[in-house]
Structure 1
Amino acid sequence: MQALIQRVAEARVTVNGRVTGQIGPGLLVLLCAERGDDEAAADRLLAKLLKLRIFGDEAGRMNRSVQDVGGGLLVVSQFTLAADTSGGNRPSFTAAAPPQDGRRLYEHFVRQARAAHPLVATGEFGADMRVALVNDGPVTIPLRVGAAAPPR
């Protein structure tokens, strides 16, 4: 699984003009399940995300996690993170999990996030969403775990 994490001052998702989720300070999580991913990968990604020290401490150094600062999580499904652009001008999304697997893993991730963190909002899986955010920093970090993760 992979995610693009953005530290935000605020963020919201709308579907057909209706707000489906919004947060104040915290993390916007653009989440992508890839072929071969499973619930264990989702759990590892969530654990990493919740402990990632990308919020400032008293000295202004990135030394605190979203849990440390009590920030929100806004989780949005984003299969386009699996894009392969090596073969021309039209991206291929064959690395993305099939929709039924993607939905299952997205919903698992959200359930686990809600069990571990007090403020979790979401987009709507498979919907045409509008995401508005105020990136704080800006801080944008890619995270990847599981079958498709590159070797370290």
Structure 2
Amino acid sequence: MISVIQRVSQARVVVDGLTIGEIGAGLLVLVCAERGDTEAQADKLLAKILKLRIFSDDAGKMNRSVQDMEGGLLLVSQFTLAADTTGGNRPSFTNAAEPLEGRRLYDYLVAQARAAHPVVQTGEFAADMKLHLVNDGPVTIPLTVR
């Protein structure tokens, strides 16, 4: 699975003019299931997200996780993370999981996140979403698990 993690002071997802997911300080996670991904990759990705130490401690050092600081998680599906641009200027998305499998793995990741963390919000799979965020730092980290 592929993800891009952004440390945010706030973030929200809007669909058709309505806010459907919103967090304060925490992580906005864009996530994409690739062909061949399984629940094992989703579990590994979630474990890494929850333990990733990218929040400042009292000394100003990145030494705290989203769990340590009890921050929010905003999980947003984004198949375009699987873009292949090696063949020209128009991206190919053939590496992304088929839509039904992508949705299944995204829903699985969300369910596991909700079981493990108290503040989990989401986007809407396959919707035209507008993301509003304040990237804190900025801190943006690509994370891929195989």
After TM superposition, the score normalised by the length of structure 2 is 0.99
In structure 2, the residue matched to 1:129 is 129
Match of 1:104? 104
Counterpart in 1 of 2:2?
2
Report the alpha carbon displacement of residue 77 of structure 1 after superposing the two structures with TM.
0.2
One-letter amino acid of the counterpart of residue 21, structure 1:
G
Cα distance in 2, alignment partners of residues 2 and 46 from structure 1: 11
The Cα shift of 1:24 comes to 0.2
Shift of 1:48: 0.5
Query: Partner of 1:27 in structure 2?
Result: 27
Pairwise CA distance, 1:116 = 0.1
Counterpart amino acid of residue 19 in structure 2: V
2:7 partner amino acid: R
The DSSP-based 3-state class of the residue aligned with 1:42 is helix
Q: Distance in 2 between matches of 1:132 and 1:85?
A: 26
Q: CA deviation at 1:43?
A: 0.3
Q: Which residue of 1 aligns with 2:76?
A: 76
Is residue 138 of structure 1 aligned with residue 121 of structure 2?
no
Q: Could you tell me which amino acid in structure 2 is paired with residue 114 of structure 1?
A: R
- Please give the per-residue CA displacement for 1:49-103, whole angstroms capped at 9, x wherever unaligned: 1000000000100000000001000000000000001111100000000000000
In structure 1, what is the Cα distance between the partners aligned to 2:23 and 2:60?
Answer: 22
AA paired with 1:82?
A: A
Distance in 1 (CA, whole Å) between partners of 2:20 and 2:34 is 24
Match of 2:67 in 1: 67
Matching residue's letter, 2:69: V
The TM-score with structure 1 as length reference comes to 0.95
Could you list the structure 1 runs, at least 4 aligned residues long, displaced by more than 2 angstroms after superposition.
Answer: none
Sequence identity percentage: 73
Partners of 1:80 and 1:56 lie apart in 2 by 30
Letter in 1 for 2:18: R
Counterpart of 1:150 in structure 2 is none
